[in-house]
Structure 1
C-alpha cells in the first residue's frame, strides 16, 4: 500500500501542476473568477497534503500531526464548495467577499485544534459540503443525460470522497501509517478520474454552467420564433461562416440574432441539446474537417486558425474531444481514402 501511495502522490503533484497551467487558465473561466481562484486553491491544498503524506511515508517526518496538515485538511472542502457553487447554482452573490468569509473560519481555527479533534472534525465538515453537492446535482437531474460518461467518472470521485469521510471517523482503527497511505491513494485516484473526465470533455465546467443557467431560469423564449431563429443561426454559421471570428461569444452572436444572451443560451441548450461553447467548437471542427481534406497542403495550424481557433493547442483539444483523433490523423485517414 505504501508503494502505491508514493506512486500516486507523485502523480497527484504533477497532475495538480498540469491542471493549474492548462485547465485553470483565465480563458476557461471568463465570468467565474471566484470559481477559478478556488479551483487553484483546491489544487494547492491537495498537492500540499500529498507532499506531507510523502514526507511521513517516505522519510518518517511526523508532519501529518502538524497545524499545517490540519489547515490544509480543513481547506479542501470549502475550496471545493466555492469552486463548484458558481458552476452549479444561479446565486449571483455567492462569490462576493462577504459571502465567502465564513468558509474561512474553520480553516483559520484548524491550527489551534488538537490533532485528535481536527482530523475527524475536518471530515465531518467535508461530509456537509458533499451533501450540498449531491443536492445541487439532484436538482439538475433532468439535464444529466448529456453528461452520462462524465457523471459516471465524477460519481466514482464522489464515492471516494464519501469513503474517505467515513474512514476519517475511524482512522484510529487503522494501524500505523495505513490511514495516511490509503488517504494518499484516494487523492491520487481522484486526480486520475478528474483528468479522464476532462480528457473526455475539456470544456465541461463551462458547459455545465450554461446548462445550469437554462435549468434555473424561467423560459425566455415565449416571444421567440424558435424554428425561424434556428434557421437564421444555421445560415450565420453555414453561409456567413460566423464561427471563423476568433472573438465570437455568446453576447456577440445573440446580438447578431436579435436575442438576449439568456434567450440564445436557452435556445441552444433546449433545442440542440448542448451548450454554446460545445456548439461553437462543433461548428469549427466540422469546417476544419472539410478544409483538412480539401486543402491537403495547408498546415494543420493554418486550418485551425482559419476556422476560428486561437491556438494550435485549442484546435487539437477540441478536435480530439469531438472526433476522437487529432486533425492530422483525420486528414491522413480521409485523404488516404480519397474522401
Structure 2
C-alpha cells in the first residue's frame, strides 16, 4: 500500500512539475523557438504521464482525460523531432517544411478527437490509435537520433548540449517502458517523473549559471576576416600558454580564456577551422609529441604522452597513428636514423 502511495505521489508530482516547467519555458523572457519546442514536448510528456497516473489509480477516469493523454502520446515523437530541428538552427521562425509538417499532425490529431471521441470509441483508442501512437513515437525517435548523429558537429555546447542529449535518451527510456508495460508497468510513472525532474534541474542549473536553458546552434557564418582574427588569437594563445598540455582542458575553459562565447568558439573551430574542439587539441598534442620524440630520444613513450597532455597511452597511440600513419616508435626510429 505504501509503495502504491509513493508511486502515485512521485508520478503525479512529475506530471505537475512538467506542466509548470512547460509554462515557464513558453512564457519566459527571451524565449527562442527551440525553447518553445521544448515546452511543447514537456507538455506532451506531462499530459501523457498524468493520464497514466489517473488511469492506474482512479477507477473512473474521465473520458476527456483519457482522450487528452492518448492524443499527447501521438505527439511526443513529433515534438522531440521539432525540438531537435529548432535546436540545430538559428532561425527565429518555422520553415515551410516544419509548418506543413506541424499542420498535418495537428489536423490528424483534431480529426481523431472529433470523429472518434473516446467516450464512444474507447476500443478504437486502445486499439489502432494506441498502436499507431507507439509506432509513430518510435519512428520519430529513430529519425531524431539519426539527425543528432548526422549533425553532431552542430550540437550546441555546455548545458544546452547536455539537455538535448538527455531529452532524447530520456524519451527512449520512457518509450521502452511503455512498450514493455506488461512487465514494467510500475516504473513507467517513475521514469516519466525522472525525465521531467531532470529537465527541471537542468533548467534551474542553467538559470543559476546565467545560461539559456536552450541554446540553438549559431548557423550564421562568421565573416572570414573575423574568423581569421579569432583563429590567429587562438593560435597565439596556444603558442604562448600551451594550454593543450593540460589533460583537463575543456571547451568552456578555453572559451573563457580566449574571451569568446563557448558557442562561438565551437562554431569557429567547426565551420572555419574544419575541426572539432577535441580534434584541434589532439593536433596540437600530436605536434608536441613529435617534438619530444626527436628532442628526447631516451624518454619513454608513456612519459612523452603524459607530457603532451594525453590522458592515456592508448589514446596517444590511436591519435598519433591516425595523424602520421605510423606508430610513435617507428616515427622516432625513421627520423633519428636519417640523422
* Alignment TM-score, normalising by the size of structure 2: 0.53
Q: Measured at CA, do residues 96 and 221 of structure 1 come closer, stay the same or move farther in structure 2, by a change above 3 Å?
A: same
Q: CA deviation at 1:72?
A: 2.1
The change in CA–CA distance for 1:205 and 1:230 in structure 2 (over 3 A counts) is farther
Structure showing greater Rg: 2
1:72 matched to 2:82? The reply is no
The equivalent position to 2:138 in structure 1, one of 127, 133, 141, is: 127
**Contact preservation (8 Å) 1:38, 1:79:** yes
Task: Specify which of 15, 18, 29 is matched with residue 16 of structure 1.
Answer: 18
> How far 1:37 moved relative to its partner?
4.6
Structure 1: which 5+ residue stretches go unaligned? 232-263, 274-339
CA distance in 1, matches of 2:149, 2:43: 29
Distance 1:182 1:199 in 2: 25
Mark the runs of 5 or more structure 2 residues left unpaired by the alignment.
117-123, 234-260, 271-339
Equivalent residue for 1:29? 31
Q: Residue 44 of structure 2 contacts residue 76 of structure 2 at CA under 8 Å; is this kept in 1?
A: yes
- Structure 1's 80 and 4: CA in aligned 2 closer, same or farther, altered over 3 A? farther
SS in 2 for 1:163: helix
CA–CA separation in structure 2 for the residues paired with 1:267 and 1:166: 37
Q: CA deviation at 1:109?
A: 5.1
In 2, the alpha carbon distance for the partners of 1:61 and 1:75 equals: 25
Q: Distance in 1 between matches of 2:227 and 2:43?
A: 48
CA 1:165–1:52 in structure 2 vs 1: closer, same or farther (change >3 Å)? closer
- Of 175, 191, 209, which aligns to 2:196? 191
CA distance in 1, matches of 2:173, 2:196: 16
Deviation at 1:154, TM superposition (A): 5.4
Cα distance in 1 for residues equivalent to 2:46 and 2:8: 13
Distance 1:125 1:106, change over 3 A: farther
Q: CA deviation at 1:126?
A: 0.9
Q: Contact conserved, 2:17 with 2:196, CA < 8 A, in 1?
A: yes
CA offset digits 1:139-174 (Å, max 9, x no partner): 342355943x76566545433422332344444x34
The answer to whether the 8 Å contact 1:86/1:95 transfers is no
Q: Name the counterpart of 2:335.
A: none
- d(CA) in 2 for partners of 1:140 and 1:96? 18
Distance 1:230 1:103, change over 3 A: farther
Matched with 1:222 is 224
TM-score normalised per structure 1: 0.53
SS at match of 1:24: helix
Distance change >3 Å, CA 76–CA 4, structure 1 → 2: farther
**Residue 63 of structure 1, CA deviation:** 5.0
Secondary structure of the residue aligned to 2:224 is: coil
Deviation at 1:81, TM superposition (A): 2.6
Aligned to 1:161: 171
Q: Tell me the residue number matched to 1:200.
A: 205
CA RMSD of aligned residues (A): 3.9
1:121-153 Cα shifts (integer Å, max 9, x gaps): 212111111122212221342355943x76566
Quote the Cα distance in structure 2 between the aligned partners of 1:76 and 1:225.
39
Does residue 49 in structure 1 map to residue 48 in structure 2? Answer: yes
Q: Structure 1's 63 and 45: CA in aligned 2 closer, same or farther, altered over 3 A?
A: farther
Mapping of residues 1-339 of structure 1, within 5 Å: 2-30=4-32, 32=33, 35-62=34-61, 66-89=66-89, 93-94=95-96, 97-108=99-110, 110-111=112-113, 112=116, 113-142=124-153, 146-147=157-158, 155-171=165-181, 173-174=182-183, 179=185, 181-202=186-207, 203-210=211-218, 213=219, 219-224=221-226, 226-227=228-229, 269-270=266-267
The 8 Å contact of residues 29 and 206 in structure 1, kept in 2 or not, is answered as no
